[in-house]
């Protein structure tokens, strides 16, 4: 389990599993309409239970990392491998609980997610980000990936090569 300091206490990161699905569902249920739109480009999935169960399945194709403050899940980063794409590519997304943002949690989840993806064979990461999603775009810029964003209408497509832990 990796620990990282944040302005709101120590945040620990670990891979999520089936027992975490209820906490994952609760985190997503608390997203407001705006955040749901930023995450899914529309309303929340109707079957949030199914979504959370799937997200917590960690295998060769998918992985989810949780950020915890104490026992509380405050952020989730996840990826899914795209099929029949070369080089092996995963698509990722992040969510941090509203009350715990702006403390670097999203950034630390993303860094660890890259390492997990690389360890599981991925060599490229992609994401679709709404142009209006200033916080997520800031996370991407802070990561040094501004040059890897390509605009397509109201959406920005991110595509970065993975190099493994530096």
Ligand X SMILES: CC(C)(COP(=O)(O)OP(=O)(O)OC[C@H]1O[C@@H](n2cnc3c(N)ncnc32)[C@H](O)[C@@H]1OP(=O)(O)O)[C@@H](O)C(=O)NCCC(=O)NCCS
Among 73, 81, 93, 122, binds ligand X (CB under 6 A): 93
Contact partners, residue 63, CB within 8 Å, separation at least 6: 15, 78, 79, 113, 116, 117, 120
- Is residue 52 within 8 A of residue 23, CB to CB? The reply is no
Tell me: does residue 28 bind ligand X (CB under 6 A). no
Which lies closer to ligand X via its Cβ, residue 57 or residue 155?
155
Binder to ligand X among 21, 24, 25, 39 (CB under 6 A)? 39
Asked whether the beta carbons of 38 and 32 are under 8 A apart, the reply is no
The yes or no reply on residue 104 touching ligand X (CB under 6 A) is yes
Residue from 14, 61, 101, 124 binding ligand X (CB under 6 A) = 101
11 near ligand X (CB under 6 A):
no
DSSP 163: -
Q: Which helix (H) or strand (E) is 138 found in, with range?
A: helix 134-142
Binding site for ligand X (CB under 6 A): 35, 38-39, 93-96, 101-107, 127, 129, 133-136, 138-139, 142
């Amino acid at each position: 389990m990796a620990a990282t300091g944040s302005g709101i206490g120590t945040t620990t990161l670990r891979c999520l599993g089936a027992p975490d699905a209820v906490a994952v569902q609760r985190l997503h249920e608390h997203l407001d309409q705006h955040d749901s739109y930023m995450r899914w480009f529309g309303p929340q999935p109707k079957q949030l239970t199914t979504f959370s169960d799937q997200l917590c399945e960690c295998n060769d194709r998918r992985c989810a990392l949780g950020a915890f403050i104490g026992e509380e899940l405050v952020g989730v980063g996840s990826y899914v491998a795209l099929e029949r794409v070369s080089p092996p590519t995963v698509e990722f997304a992040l969510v941090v609980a509203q009350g715990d943002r702006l403390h670097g949690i999203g950034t630390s989840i993303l860094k660890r997610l890259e390492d997990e993806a690389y360890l599981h064979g991925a060599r490229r990461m992609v994401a679709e980000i709404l142009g209006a999603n200033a916080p997520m775009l800031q996370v991407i810029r802070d990561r040094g990936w501004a040059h890897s964003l390509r605009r397509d209408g109201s959406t920005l497509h991110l595509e970065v090569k993975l190099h493994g832990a530096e």
